[in-house]
Amino acid sequence: MPIVQISRIQHRRGLATDLPQLAAGELGWVIDEQRLYIGNGSVADGAPAVGNTEVLTANSTSFSDAVSYVYRGYLGDVTPIVTGVNVDVIRTLQERLDDYVSVKAFGAVGDGVEDDTLAIQRALDELYCDVDKSDARSRRRLLFPAGQYNINGPIYVPPYAQLIGEGYDKTIIYQLGGGSADGRVIRFQDDRKQRGANIGNSSAKLPTNIHIESITFENGEGYTGVEIERASNVKFVDCKFQGTYAAGGADVSASKGVTIISTNAQSTTNIVFDSCYFTKFARLVDLSYDCENVKFMNCDFSIGHYGVLIGESTDGASNGLTNGPNSVKILSSQFSSIMKNAIKAENNGDIKNIISFNNYFAKDVGTNNEGVDSIRIYPIVEFNAHECASELDYFAIEGQRSTGIIPLSNLQGLGVLTNTVKEITLTDNQSSVTTTGIQLSAIENKFIRIEYKMSRGSTYRVGIFTANVIGSLVSYHDDYEENNGTIGVTLSATVDNLDSTAGQDTLQIKYITTNTGNDVSMDYRIITMV
């Protein structure tokens, strides 16, 4: 249909220097600057001021300001900084927005309704696989704004990926389940997008230098949260791993918060979890494959059948399961509501160097889900591998049953437990053997070493008291040095039956003191080799 001119409406037009005061609603077109104005009208009519208002167009100053960006500093226009050598560096709005890459730019919604599986995978593949892999500048951080991103199959993370959310329980990647035979939330892939048994084929780059932060990985079914496969230099910070396990539930091997996969040729190494939260998996962490240097720092483990289970499937022969984990460290973390062991290392393959340091174990760990005031059924830490140690861990449970001490120690198996320093008072003038209150489970062939310092008036003693249980007997030795006289304390050890269960005995450290008129202050720490 042709355009037919019916009439022509004329408005004021001319040079910018000739623009007059326009009447209310009157338009004026500045020809030389290609800018459009409209008259304000009078104050009496309600205008805030007499004058002309510029209408935003492609050539107006306000539009140019809107599509350009200059960093002003924290004081803004009050005291702006100069970003260039002499004048400001001006960037376009497109350049400024491209400083950050959001998963929503690839079609993810994050509303807890839409399926975001393909959109998230497309973002990962485009940023880290399909670009020029030789150019590190292409590897941008991928942001996940707060929201729930539903998936129906695992998300595959490639080398050099950086996934950043807005905090766990704010940014959630939620595995719906039912849409895929693979119920894991996160798996890994190489830079050719090869997965599983094909990772690393055709000289592809193995998963490496991966950083994931401030995201919750939640599985709506009883399967694995995150599976790290043939990777190196992987770090999770401020992340949450959540499953569907209910307190007191059965041990289901498929329910793992985090697990690691390796082959004999491609071991997984240097994996760090910092300030992460593991909850509601039968096995909060399950490590059986060959891996080295795995660290958990400042983490929270809660509601699980096992806390950190090491080497349960290591068999000494299968591909990737030959040696098992080596150098696993759990540091400055806390455990609560763990049905069995908080940390357990099996004696399979060549597992070694499992270290628990400065961790907190709540009263409801190892009680078979019977609550914080119940009997401990399982040792909190069980080391059956080599070169293992528990250093400066705190065990909230005192190990008591109805009238005495439970036969299980906090640490059992093969390893060393070093406790923190405590202080007790040895009463003056105790001529009969009196208990110090130091009670330990009398497990046979366990070596007890008590390092102590005593003070009594101006007299001091430092010493090492050792004890070893053999059947119902105990051998002990006190090696010490004193200054400024004799302190007048004799230490001894006995095995006593403090409860109604025959054969379940307690090692008690006892003392006698001379009469000097002063009680004895004793600082001590216990080192146990089991």
Residue 474 pLDDT: 87
Tell me if 206 sits within 8 A of 253, measured CB to CB: no
Examine the domain organization and report whether 438 and 449 are in the same domain.
yes
- The tens digit of pLDDT for each residue in 208-217 reads 999 999 999 9
Q: Which has the minimum average pLDDT: 13-17, 376-380, 514-518? A: 376-380
Q: For residue 498, what are its two tokens?
A: 């403090």
Examine the domain organization and report whether 415 and 441 are in the same domain.
no
* Residue that finishes a domain, picked among 378, 401, 420: 420
Instruction: Report which of residues 221 and 180 the model is more confident about.
Output: 221
- The tens digit of pLDDT for each residue in 461-473 reads 999 999 988 877 8
- The dihedral over CA atoms of 192, 198, 203, 208, expressed in degrees to the nearest 10, equals 70
Count how many domains the chain has.
4
Residue 70 pLDDT: 82
Examine the domain organization and report whether 191 and 288 are in the same domain.
no
Token match 């008591």: residue? 400
- The tens digit of pLDDT for each residue in 48-90 reads 889 999 888 776 666 556 677 888 777 766 777 888 888 888 8
Residue 84 pLDDT: 87
The domain of 158 spans: 106-210
The bridge status of strand 434-441 relative to strand 394-395 is: unpaired
Residue 56 pLDDT: 80
Flag whether 491 is in a domain.
yes
Residue 401 pLDDT: 43
- Give me the mean pLDDT over the 485-503 stretch: 82
CATH number at residue 477: 2.60.40.1680
Examine the domain organization and report whether 276 and 389 are in the same domain.
yes
* Residue that finishes a domain, picked among 420, 439, 458: 420
Examine the domain organization and report whether 196 and 260 are in the same domain.
no
Examine the domain organization and report whether 282 and 397 are in the same domain.
yes
Q: For residue 278, what are its two tokens?
A: 């593991």
State the sign of the Cα–Cα–Cα–Cα dihedral 84, 141, 120, 266.
Answer: positive
- The tens digit of pLDDT for each residue in 268-324 reads 999 999 999 999 999 999 999 999 999 999 999 999 999 999 999 999 999 999 999
Examine the domain organization and report whether 412 and 452 are in the same domain.
no
Examine the domain organization and report whether 408 and 445 are in the same domain.
no
Q: For residue 369, what are its two tokens?
A: 């889900």
Examine the domain organization and report whether 379 and 455 are in the same domain.
no
Instruction: Report which of residues 500 and 523 the model is more confident about.
Output: 523
Helix and strand numbers, DSSP H then E, in the chain:
3, 42
Residue 93 pLDDT: 78
- Give me the mean pLDDT over the 26-37 stretch: 91
Examine the domain organization and report whether 447 and 410 are in the same domain.
no
State the sign of the Cα–Cα–Cα–Cα dihedral 321, 175, 218, 246.
Answer: negative
- The tens digit of pLDDT for each residue in 161-177 reads 999 999 999 999 999 97
Examine the domain organization and report whether 308 and 389 are in the same domain.
yes
Expressed in angstroms, the distance from the first to the final Cα of the chain is 95
Examine the domain organization and report whether 259 and 408 are in the same domain.
yes
* Residue that finishes a domain, picked among 186, 210, 234: 210
Flag whether 217 is in a domain.
no
Percent of the chain with pLDDT over 70: 88
Predicted confidence (pLDDT) at residue 131 exceeds the cutoff of 70? no
